[in-house]
Amino acid sequence: MQKNHLITRRAAIQSVTAVGITLATGNAMGQSLGKERKGSMQNSDFYDNGVFNKQKAFDAYYAMMKRFGYPIPSILKTDEFWTSDFAQNDFINVGMAGIFWMNNKEHRYFAHEIYLLPGQMIVEHRHNVSSEGPAKMESWHVRYGMIHTFGEGEPTKDLPCKLPESQLKAKAITVRCCKTLKDGEIGTLNRITAPHFMIAGPEGAIVTEYGTPHYADALEFTNKTVVF
């Protein structure tokens, strides 16, 4: 009985220790992830005397990629990888990073990777007919995280995310029909030339976009102060 009692105590001590380690590890991970949440970032973290610091933005995206376990190929450390705050000086709310994997205008296919920090919005825009070709059609495949897509249709009454004040003040949001896409899900633009935008969920998002070719002169932003 005494031997069994000692074993039981030892097992209990080991169990408590394991739980303590698990809780401590969980807390540490939670604190680490918390640093990458939107609430822990400030616009001032990404601007030097009012000038957008792209390297600081890239570092934030790399940290998000590592958190997601997303492989970072060497091309994402070159000039092929780009980021923008759309000249809104509101990067934590309005901005993105991306890379065009393919934009084949001859055979008319396109592949684009979109990177969004937590709660970050791609400003509302549309793709018009270009002198080079027809208006772009596209679909979005969520690889990591989640996004809220906005387009034409009945406005969603209880939005699952906050719309950036900078865009509301500019009256640069005209569509409010929201559909949420989670990891692995795909959404498609409801109509060619329709205005649309997306906002990342609380973990951020990495999204693969499939579409017909992108023509720079066909891209029209609702907010006329946007520079891309």
Domain spans of the chain, in order of start: 1-34, 40-221
Is 80 exceeded by the pLDDT of residue 112?
Answer: yes
pLDDT of residue 4: 42
Is 60 exceeded by the pLDDT of residue 152?
Answer: yes
pLDDT of residue 40: 85
Is residue 26 very low, low, confident or very high in pLDDT (cuts 50, 70, 90)?
Answer: very low
Q: 56 by DSSP, 3-state: which?
A: helix
Mean pLDDT of the chain: 88
- Mean pLDDT, residues 31-42: 61
Q: 154 by DSSP, 3-state: which?
A: coil
- Mean pLDDT, residues 12-29: 38
pLDDT of residue 35: 52
- Mean pLDDT, residues 46-56: 98
Is 50 exceeded by the pLDDT of residue 46?
Answer: yes
Per CATH, is 40-221 categorized as 3.40.50.300?
no
Is 90 exceeded by the pLDDT of residue 220?
Answer: yes
The pair of structure tokens assigned to 34 is 């918390």
State how far the Cα of 203 lies from the Cα of 78, in Å rounded to an integer. Answer: 25
DSSP 195-208: -EEEEEEEEEEEEE
Please say whether the beta carbons of 56 and 46 come within 8 A.
Answer: yes
Top pLDDT among 14 and 98 is at 98
Beta bridge partner(s), residue 149: 179, 198
Is residue 154 very low, low, confident or very high in pLDDT (cuts 50, 70, 90)?
Answer: very high
- Mean pLDDT, residues 54-74: 98
Of all residues in the chain, the percent with pLDDT exceeding 90 is 82
Of 160, 193, 201, 202, the closest CA to residue 177 belongs to 160
Top pLDDT among 78 and 33 is at 78
- Mean pLDDT, residues 161-171: 98
- Mean pLDDT, residues 129-134: 97
Counted residue by residue, the chain has a size of 228
